Structure 1
Amino acid sequence: MKSVCNIAVELLKPGAAHSPAAAHSRLGAEMCKELKTKVLRLLPPTSNGPSVHQGDQTDGAEILSCTVKALKEGHVVAVPTDTIYGLACLAQNSEAIRKTYDIKGRNGQKPLAICVGETQDIYKYCKVPVKEPLLEDLLPGPVTLVFERSEVLNTDLNPFTSLVGVRIPDHAFMRRLCQMCGEPLALTSANISSHTSTVAVHEFQELWPKLAVVVDEGPIGDQSRLGSTVVNLSVRGKYSIIRPGCALSCTVDVLEHKYGLSEE
């Protein structure tokens, strides 16, 4: 396998040497050597051409393979999602969960969500009282659904609550990453706790030395920084909004008008 530091440079488009993305990639490659942090440049989908994970399967596969390897070894990685950049580790790995809290300086009583690749995966780790079509209407997308956790989920993940939030980002790389890991990822925002959410990797550069891999897809989406809409669906026939996030109105519309749920 090629050096991942070289991959970070090679995945840049020709002629982009003076762009901000190129500057960040060069910096990433330099930090690679110094910090042993692998900074990998993943080209986002474009309207006039294929994305790296569609049109350049070899390099895209290398980035996925490198990230999966780091996760399987118990490390924490930074990844793009459909809303903001996140920190991820294997949810079933208790030591990796502790690392994630340490990296963020996060209050131990604040929960981490889990991220899975397919709707069917939710049923393994959560007790789901809603109809499957409801899940399919909201996921994949910028929504975190909160359910009662199942006995299969690691008891060291959010041991202070019987609930867990679950995400399927509308993001091909993240979904494939979960599928390749074969188990849920614990997912939280890529920033120091209480700091602003990040939509570009340079915004959380102070965390890079503590991460095994940083997957850089450039600036994310509309850069709203609101994160996903978090909704509690653990009570049958009811819903409650935990965090408004970026998809509040459309989420409430689906819950109330299509499925007849009422707000607690």
Structure 2
Amino acid sequence: MATKRLTPDELDEAAQLLKDGQLVAFPTETVYGLGADATNVAAVKQVYQAKGRPSDNPLIVHVADPEMVMTYADVSADAHRLMTEFWPGPLTIILPIKPHALAKEVTGGLNTAAFRLPANDTTRELIRRAGVPMVGPSANTSGKPSPTTATHVLHDLDGKIAAVVDDGPTKVGVESTVIDMTVTPPAVLRPGAIDAAMLYPVIGEVATEVHKVGAKETPKAPGMKYKHYAPNAQVVIVRTEADFDAAIAWAEQQDDVFGVLATDHVLATLPATMPQFSLGQDVTSAAHNLFAGLRYFDNHPDVKMVLAEGFETTGLGSAYMNRINKSAGGQYFTATE
């Protein structure tokens, strides 16, 4: 089947597809998600099949309003404060669920689930019209860079899902911050646009040292266990702008064609003929453009290695570095190479 490309004016059709147990990709302010009725086990199973996603990788439940969460989870006073302060927005909150409220296919068999109220009017209205919460992992093949446009979704999932609602490019570009409210102190399991410094005035101390998930352990949140965001080419992170001259000299001695994923200031020093993709001017634009850049090099199969610019791990830089480090499999350029 061909995947339909729907507009925000065609939400009734998208909502009916969800009610019928079909898969519909949807826009958010972070990345595009792959939606299914979170209360329909057969539909949720299709999400794993379409993405090629491991079955113990839990899904985020997207809601139309905070009240929808109350049906499925116990919400503490601190969790309610987070919802009031940051929803709608790029914050996913892990909560203890009520007995038998959600299927194990949604939770990974845990007694917790992750909830998010996206800051996208189209998607909140889609959920309202469908009348059910939606599971929503990123709408891509598992392990590949997340999609920030409907075209990215179709590149990976055309013919595998019923429809994608095209609401243009996403704004943030990296997935939501995930905070676990079932532990003391609350723990950030995945960095995003909302960092610990923003959370502290609302709920106090927040742990940011991410737990390493064991091979037989079920992760509480997406992105904690399995390889993510990887393009076909090997990504090598260049820690600072000042290291690029040495990194390029090293790459030129290798046998493979390489490309550069960096800010405009770095790219301005390179030959125009060198494969390259702009991350913009700073870390904010870099986070926005990261996944599009990784996908750009997938469309250039001659490029076997990508030198990617690194940033300080503060603020949005923490989210950027979390994603690029996973994409690179921890590979960094050092001058000794």
Matched with 2:7 is 41
Whole-Å separation in 2 of the counterparts to 1:191 and 1:66: 22
AA in 1 matched with 2:102: L
TM-score normalised to structure 2 length: 0.58
Matches within 5 A, 1:104-183: 104-131=51-78, 132-151=80-99, 152-183=101-132
Matched with 1:221 is 171
1:167 positional shift = 0.5
Whole-Å separation in 2 of the counterparts to 1:180 and 1:204: 22
Q: What's the secondary structure of 2:145's corresponding residue? A: coil
Matched with 1:200 is 149
CA pair 170-221 structure 1, distance change in 2 beyond 3 A: same
AA in 1 matched with 2:163: V
1:178 positional shift = 1.4
Pick aligned residue for 1:241 from 180, 184, 188:
188
Pick aligned residue for 1:263 from 187, 207, 221:
207
Whole-Å separation in 1 of the counterparts to 2:95 and 2:88: 16
AA in 2 matched with 1:210: K
Extract structure 1 runs of 4+ deviating beyond 6 A: none
1:263 positional shift = 2.6
Superimposed CA distance per residue, residues 127-158 of structure 1 (whole angstroms, 9 cap, x where no aligned partner): 11234333110111011101111232234422
Whole-Å separation in 2 of the counterparts to 1:154 and 1:183: 14
Matched with 1:22 is none
AA in 2 matched with 1:75: Q
Matched with 2:211 is none
AA in 2 matched with 1:258: V
User: Structure 2 regions of 5+ residues with no counterpart?
Assistant: 209-337
Whole-Å separation in 2 of the counterparts to 1:221 and 1:262: 26
Between the two proteins, what is the percent identity of the paired residues?
30
CA pair 155-109 structure 1, distance change in 2 beyond 3 A: closer
User: Structure 1 regions of 5+ residues with no counterpart?
Assistant: 1-34, 43-59
Q: What's the secondary structure of 2:165's corresponding residue? A: strand
1:159 positional shift = 4.2
Q: Contact between 1:78 and 1:86, CA under 8 Å: does it hold in 2? A: yes
Whole-Å separation in 1 of the counterparts to 2:55 and 2:202: 37
Whole-Å separation in 1 of the counterparts to 2:103 and 2:126: 19
Higher radius of gyration, 1 or 2: 2
Number of equivalences: 205
Whole-Å separation in 1 of the counterparts to 2:206 and 2:7: 44
AA in 1 matched with 2:180: N
Q: CA RMSD in A?
A: 1.7
1:262 positional shift = 4.0
